[in-house]
Amino acid sequence: MRSDLMKKGFERAPHRSLFKAMGYTDEELARPLVGVVNSANEIIPGHIHLDLITQAAKAGVRMAGGTPVEFPVIGVCDGIAMGHEGMKFSLASRELIADSIEIMAMAHPFDALVFIPNCDKIIPGMLMAALRLNIPSIFISGGPMLAGKLQGKAVDLISVFEGVGAVKVKKMTAARLKELEDCACPGCGSCSGMYTANSMNCVTEAIGLGLPGNGTIPAIQAARHRLAKQAGMKIMDLLKRNIRPRDIATLAAFKNAIAVDMALGCSTNTVLHIPAIAHEAGIKLDLDLFNKISEKTPNICKLSPAGLHHIEDLDMAGGIQAVMKVISALGVIDEKAMTVTGKNVGSNLKNAKVLDNDVIRPLKNPYSQQGGIAILRGNFAPDGAVVKQSAVAPAMQVNDGKARVFDSEDDAIKAILGGKIKGGDIVVIRYEGPKGGPGMREMLLPTSAIVGMGLDKTVALLTDGRFSGGTQGAAIGHISPEAAEGGPIALVKEGDIISIDIPAKKLNLKVSAQELAKRKKDLKPFKPRITKGYLARYAKLVTSSSTGAIFKD
């Protein structure tokens, strides 16, 4: 066993003595030692209950003959960090999470790992660590929050963000917004729509590193605790059979995950995280693969913010396994791919079925023939840009508009809430990329303000930053190369005409090549906004969003 390095033989008597100082017995030390990575804290609603999930997972490990050893990891709440300097640290925390787990698992050679994440950067950070370490691993998320209810209508966190814009234009009273604030997030769990956290928990299940139900069973249900116990027991089977993360997370598994991503209409942040996770497995995923799979995979679910359903509805409709069963008929799911059940995908799907055709539509009646996400290219985004096309109104799918240019999210928010953005404008927010931000802030405040003010059918927003999974409307992010690296987004001027053609996957600036060359020559070198601390180091190491914003090798 790997843990013998720290516990076996007379030479390790001092090590065993330290274990005994913590109450471990000889019987416990004789068993496999399973690291349990607990991301519980008191700042993220999706993590406030993870101590309970962790206890269940540890019970499962013990029932199957192992000894669980728990250790913590940090986490940022994107919603609470939104709209201020704190959001610069969110994406940047992903690398710290992966690195800190690597440190713990290498300094203390566990035989296997159970990962317990639930929210935005914690999930991909843990997945990156699992594939980097490549020792037997399993994921059990904390599960989604239930939707709130206001006068019989389902509401969620995005309802509150959009309410801010609605109050600004007097479409909603402050008293009504307070009612929303009090009921939109009714309890623990990852926020209830198909936002980044739930997207990544569903992707984890689709890749095969989480048990069926990992992505959708609500946080408050006993079934979630039972699943955690099953995960704890299953890790012992994976250890016995020496099934490791890279045996599961193959190229076929990542293609399966992208197909599910397209069918569900997941967060655009998956386009950052899936390539970064694959990189740790030594697999290069080109952005164009997303379009290729999207062309074959219809969008059969519309969950908030794109539709009225929430994750609890998807769970009751059959969950991720039912979605995979439907789209497997198109040949976009490799059923031979191994999963943490110890069986392949095909075996897992045998008993899967759709229980609600309104939530998971049949192939003959999809929302669209293409998937939920599109990669756009053109002279405005030579290395690519990302849009959640399933959440864009038909009128905005093809659109030419006048550029309104802002060099920070803060300036753009002031202009939007100040009534300075009009129908037909294309808001450009630059110098918010991985290097320029630094940290690639999510733009939920400006996008939700645009929606709340009723401008989402006439105003588009483009950025080298990124968007929350809760964003809807013509919001195009991850524009690469970013402004800080001298990309075309740095050259756009107020009043330039920008052409968006989502069906054709095009994003162009209607300015001549000669003029762009002149602007490029006159462009002043970018001056880093932060010169000390972790973000300064992050900005020096981080690569483009088109490569998943990973660190330079």
Active site amino acids: 468
Q: What is the rounded distance in angstroms from the CA atom of residue 38 to the CA atom of residue 258?
A: 27
Q: What is the rounded distance in angstroms from the CA atom of residue 453 to the CA atom of residue 431?
A: 25
Alpha helices in 288-376 (DSSP H): 288-296, 311-316, 319-328, 345-349
Answer yes or no: are the C-beta atoms of 190 and 46 closer than 8 Å. yes
Q: How far, in Å, are 400, 425, 426, 475, 511 from residue 403 at the CA level?
A: 10, 6, 5, 14, 12
DSSP secondary-structure letter at 442? B
What is the CA angle 535-282-290, rounded to 5?
A: 80
Alpha helices in 26-121 (DSSP H): 26-30, 50-63, 78-81, 90-107
Residues 6+ apart with CB under 8 A from 414: none
Q: What is the rounded distance in angstroms from the CA atom of residue 537 to the CA atom of residue 540?
A: 5
Answer yes or no: are the C-beta atoms of 49 and 77 closer than 8 Å. no
User: H or E segment at 383?
Assistant: strand 381-387
DSSP helix/strand/coil, 251: helix
User: How far out from the chain centre does Cα 410 lie?
Assistant: 23
Q: What is the rounded distance in angstroms from the CA atom of residue 411 to the CA atom of residue 391?
A: 25
Residues 6+ apart with CB under 8 A from 152: none
Strand-strand pairing, 460-463 and 425-429 = parallel
Q: Sign of torsion, CA 372 394 380 121?
A: negative
Strand-strand pairing, 497-501 and 506-509 = antiparallel
Q: What is the rounded distance in angstroms from the CA atom of residue 466 to the CA atom of residue 468?
A: 7
Residue with tokens 């088109």: 546
Which amino acid type is present at position 68? P
Residue 210 corresponds to which tokens in the numbers above?
A: 């989480």
Q: What is the rounded distance in angstroms from the CA atom of residue 118 to the CA atom of residue 132?
A: 20
3-state secondary structure 459-525: CEEEECCECCCCCCCCEEEEEECCHHHCCHHHCCCCCCEEEEECCCCEEEECCCHHHHHHHHHHCCC
Q: What is the rounded distance in angstroms from the CA atom of residue 473 to the CA atom of residue 461?
A: 8
Residue with tokens 């713990």: 104
Residue with tokens 């728990």: 70
